[in-house]
Structure 1
């Protein structure tokens, strides 16, 4: 049985991320970037695919865990029959590509076991390992292909293809294990001051969290969610990955397993809005700079997603070296959606950049020229069907959400000219904006009064909840109220909102579970349309499925009570922030 997805904590140095179970096992780690090949891949298999277990030898030891304040320093407290000790796990923010695991003796004595199985390149390469410690230091060096890892700490002894260390930690003692990655052709990474590295890491995260503005009545959830978004934002490039993992299934045992370790323009644009709303204009500028670099060139070549540094070539392939989470296969690397046309993306970008401009991020001649070029390209694509926000792998359609975002793109372009003094072909943009609105009014509304998923169906889709968020209609527009009623009738069999009914339009076999971001969008819609009691109740249920550390994956299975899909998921966390903001904005006045 695999470790439940909600059991994992995430560590981050804002270049990569590790997942650590409550049992003390690092089961996912890719270095040096989020999208590098895994060296610990047990998440998608078992411990033979790479893991690092560090825990008491006592099988009956009990653990509790927490983050050290508003940081990503994980503190796991172990209680045994002989004593109490803590493990402090962290990825230092400025000491190379490293993972620190410090055992701290609290009381009595605790026997510990460290068991390391290094498997590079998604468990396709078992490294050669040799002892390299000197002058009393214990260290091993593991090398395979382009990767090299040095692990310093208690003496590790080879046992088959694993390495084990055993020791006893007494009260007041610290025992450090430090894993450091480097290219195999360079000298092995050297040691560093662990005390200083941990303190700098704590201070860095705490300072960043301390700048959160207007956290509101759901401060703990909002702050942790913003921290997750920062943990998924690459420190150097500014690219914001959708999640830290690949191929965690949307349905247990199913084939809907995708690689989310890339930068979707849509998700990143929505993250930008959350950053702006809570005072992080520096993050907004950094992401805009990433955007300008990534999509520079012919606007006709704009993609829906890119690599962390703006790479365009992200071919999807299946690998058999990892069997998949609970056998959910295939495991995929890369993402074929990179070649899709999704008509909403330019609208998402234009909406986000307008928000940045209004918040005080200065427009440059280059940044506006890019937006103008995107709009000019959209004039050629305005009548082109697309694959939609959910990356349908069936035939293209005129998805109503996509059409509304085309409307939003032209609307923001017009505003930039009329309100911010930019230049552009306003007459053309206004004519197309009005034509797209008329198109939706005529073809995207069912005779029953609700907006439809696309122009050729009576189905609804949770993405329609975005329409009032971008100003296409008011939250209490009769069509939106009818749409929500239809969603409640057809998309909420267990009281949680599905993205859509899997009736074949997505071109995939199997089903999926309710999408957490959609449920938070519904909270926002309830709040802004006068259904505050429903909003509060749904928000309470939705935040309750976060794990003990406040982390959310992509989906939730209400039958088994388990998180599902890639984790931690940026879209889930930024939608939580939006829902919390809507609840605060619509709260009745207090005396």
Structure 2
């Protein structure tokens, strides 16, 4: 298509491709670091492109992820931007980058360090019992020349408050320590290289010979505690390795071809956990676009209640019961709304108000605007929240063999809320910003709420509530079967349409139908055959759904993993394996997943790394492994 301007034809603008050349590295190319208080993303060129201190949801100090002028911290060979290799140190969240220059080889190790607890944490105070080991509030980067000689460059340019406030630097005696301040935050840069200050950045250049070591660190700890020398820096890194490997040793990892994908996923989930409260953030970032150059950009640095049940399923299946208990205690601490209902999301500190604002001075990732801080969906009505909360309480109750006195009042309040509101329309699981509808998945999760509440009441020995809640569950079930099934026997998106919605795959995950029910099979196969692009699952067709936004979106990885689980449930095990293999081949080079996959280019879209994608991966792997083990014992 072209437009005519006088005698000249002007090509019409085409939608931005996920693979378009850009100064922004591909989303899947970033390395993820965590100290279970905050996280950092490391670009392939060795730059920290995203870091918020002291916590996941604090304002950023490095944010070239969202604007190329919003602050970064690079350590790498001078004049070289593409490394020879990048990998995680096995069993850890420590990133190892190997560089090859024309004169030599060098290895850089990056970690948000962990180690023995050094007294009370006054930087991010704990509401959970502090563990023996905790985050140091410290980023450590070590450098080793392994062959030849390499000229290394250090550039540290924090820009505080999401790129609004340039750093003011003060250089200490000795030229190896400098403090950067702005927007009420002070960071301390320490290194054994000589630092110079150039405007708003600190910079060092030093040539390392084979066998030589160097280090640098950035601290926001109490009194800005930092490694005093290379030996202390190496010990911090060693302690971090011991922490992660000891933690992974406690997980029950299956001896299966999916073992490494499961291990990397659970390391990502642990890395997205806020240790002081037990909350798990949905992702490490804000405003990475679901549509290239589009407006579907959200802040995911909060705890969603719908993630709760998938979090508990993954943690318990892998024998990580301590983390499951911590998360449930976070849920128990949360303040409900005035009507007793839980919000769909909370801050990692339990706060309820997540009012959304935009930072219009930031360019956004590859021009995707607006950049959002906060999430305006926090006060939406989403009736699936009751089922998510009560399912995880049932899981926790069965696992621990007891019903916590703290949790029973939540069971009562959420069951009563679900009873009261399940007939009402809502925004649905995808937080659509269009008109409320009678979404089938919301009704389904209301059924989950009442089914689980009745089962918990049975465990407690409260027969009256068990009977009453079971009756409501059956009423919801009958309503779904009457109004939520289309003419071919498949679950529809909502009562006023025959459009499909991937959230109805939850009917398989949560046991709404028996495994051999033809309506379950019809739903799963309709989604597999009609709601996919190149075999990957969409949430819904945007042209068929009023979600209040313009533009298309990528295929949702969680939906594709849900399809794997659902195919396994209905007995299509080979088809489930095939899709699982395709999905795992689309992991980043470091084994991580964002929220979405662009089906045309294979590029990742949305916030990164995404907890929900990794949780659904673990669920899908478990479904296949359990089915395969059952086949082994079949007669």
Give the TM-score range, shorter chain: over 0.9
The 5-angstrom pairing of residues 221-260 of structure 1 reads 221-260=261-300
For 1:139 and 1:345, how far apart are their aligned partners in 2?
49
Q: Secondary structure at the match of 2:349?
A: coil
Distance 1:301 1:401, change over 3 A: closer
Whole-Å separation in 2 of the counterparts to 1:434 and 1:188:
59
Distance 1:238 1:26 in 2: 26
Task: Identify the match of residue 147 of structure 1 among 172, 177, 185.
Answer: 185
> C-alpha separation between the residues in 2 aligned to 1:361 and 1:74?
39
Corresponding residue for residue 36 of structure 2: 14
What is residue 55 of structure 2 aligned with on the other side? 33
Distance 1:501 1:464 in 2: 14
- Partner SS for 1:438: helix
1:360: how far off?
1.6
CA contact (8 A) 1:39 1:122 kept: yes
Give the secondary-structure state (helix, strand or coil) at the position aligned to 1:92: strand
1:236-277 Cα deviation digits (max 9, x unpaired): 110100000000000100000000000001113311211011
**Is the Cα contact below 8 Å between 1:216 and 1:584 reproduced in 2?**
no
Shift of 1:162: 2.7
Trace 1:497-576 onto structure 2 (pairs within 5 A). Answer: 497-502=537-542, 503-576=544-617
Deviations 1:63-122 (A, max 9, x none): 201111110111101112221110010001246311111101212211101112110000
Residue range with higher mean Cα deviation, 208-217 or 286-295: 208-217
Q: Which residue does the alignment assign to 1:367? A: 407
Inter-CA distance 98–361: structure 2 relative to 1 (3 Å threshold): farther
- After TM superposition, give the deviation of residue 58 of structure 1 in Å: 4.6
Task: Verify: 1:196 aligned to 2:218, yes or no.
Answer: no
Contact 2:297 2:369 in 1 (8 A): yes
For residues 71 and 295 of structure 1, what CA distance do their matches in structure 2 show?
35
The match for 2:503 is 463
List structure 1 segments (4+ residues) > 4 angstroms apart after TM superposition.
296-299
**Shift in Å, 1:152:** 0.7
Distance 1:14 1:102, change over 3 A: same
How far is 1:137 from its partner?
5.7
Provide, for residues 203-226 of structure 1, a one-character-per-residue CA deviation record: whole Å limited to 9, x for no partner. Answer: 110011111214342100001101
Residues 13 and 361 of structure 1: is their aligned pair in 2 closer, same or farther, counting only changes over 3 Å?
Answer: farther
Hey, what's the Cα distance between the residues in 1 that align with 2:545 and 2:560?
A: 22
Alpha-carbon distance in 2 for matches of 1:29, 1:395: 36
1:509 Cα deviation after fit:
1.0
What is the alpha-carbon distance in structure 2 between the residues aligned to residue 60 and residue 383 of structure 1? 57
Structure 1 residues 423 and 162: alpha-carbon distance in aligned structure 2, compared to 1, 3 A threshold: farther
Give the conservation status (yes or no) of the 8 Å contact 2:340–2:413: no
Quick one: distance in 1 between partners of 2:93 and 2:27?
18
Shift of residue 524, structure 1, vs aligned partner: 1.1
Q: Which residue of 2 aligns with 1:474?
A: 514
Tell me the SS of whatever aligns to 1:90.
strand
- The alignment's C-alpha RMSD in Å is 1.7
How many Å separate the matches in 2 of 1:287 and 1:83? 47
Structure 2 segments unaligned to the other structure (5+ residues) = 1-21, 115-133
- Is contact 1:9-1:20 (8 Å) kept? yes
Q: Which moved more, 1:79-88 or 1:573-582?
A: 79-88
- Once residues 390 and 436 of structure 1 are traced to their aligned partners in structure 2, the CA distance between those partners, rounded to angstroms, is 21
Return the alpha-carbon distance in structure 2 between the equivalents of residues 374 and 528 of structure 1: 28
Q: 1:472 Cα deviation (Å)?
A: 0.7
Question: Hey, what's the Cα distance between the residues in 2 that align with 1:210 and 1:173?
Answer: 33
Q: Deviations over 1:449-502 (max 9, x none)?
A: 111111111011111111121111123321122112322343113211001111
Structure-1 residue corresponding to 2:176 = 138
**Equivalent residue for 2:346?**
306
Per-residue CA distance 1:106-159 (angstroms, 9 max, x = gap): 122111011121100000111211102x3x461111111221011011222223
Q: What residue in structure 2 maps to residue 51 of structure 1?
A: 72
Q: Distance in 2 between matches of 1:566 and 1:325?
A: 11
Q: Contact 1:368–1:422 (CA<8 Å) still a contact in 2?
A: no
- TM-superposed deviation, 1:533: 1.6
SS state at 1:158 partner: strand
Aligned-pair CA distance for 1:420: 4.5
**Deviation by residue 1:509-544 (Cα, 9 ceiling, x = unmatched):** 111000001101111111221212211111110011
* Cα 1:361/1:247, change in 2 over 3 Å: farther
Equivalent residue in structure 1 for 2:332, among 286, 289, 292: 292
SS in 2 for 1:365: coil
2:167 is the counterpart of 1:156: no
Q: Is 1:23–2:45 an aligned residue pair?
A: yes
Q: Distance in 2 between matches of 1:461 and 1:297?
A: 29
Whether 1:175 and 2:230 are equivalent positions in the alignment is no
Secondary structure class of the residue paired with 1:474: coil
Do 2:528 and 2:563's aligned partners in 1 also have CA atoms closer than 8 Å?
Answer: no
Counterpart in the other structure of 1:64: 85
Aligned residues between the structures? 585
Q: Does 1:87 align with 2:130?
A: no
Moved more, 35-44 or 349-358: 349-358
Structure 1 unaligned regions, length at least 5: none
Provide the rounded CA distance (Å) in 1 between the counterparts of 2:446 and 2:255.
Answer: 32
Q: Given the alignment, which residue of 245, 268, 276 partners 1:206?
A: 245
Give the TM-score, by structure 2 length.
0.89
SS of 1:114's partner is strand
Aligned pairs for 1:392-407 within 5 A? 392-407=432-447
CA distance in 1, matches of 2:475, 2:387: 16
Change (3 A) 1:489 1:296: closer
Any conservation in 1 of the 2:217–2:226 contact (CA below 8 Å)? no
1:100 aligns with 2:140: yes
Q: TM-score under structure 1 normalisation? A: 0.96
- 1:589 equivalent in structure 2: 632
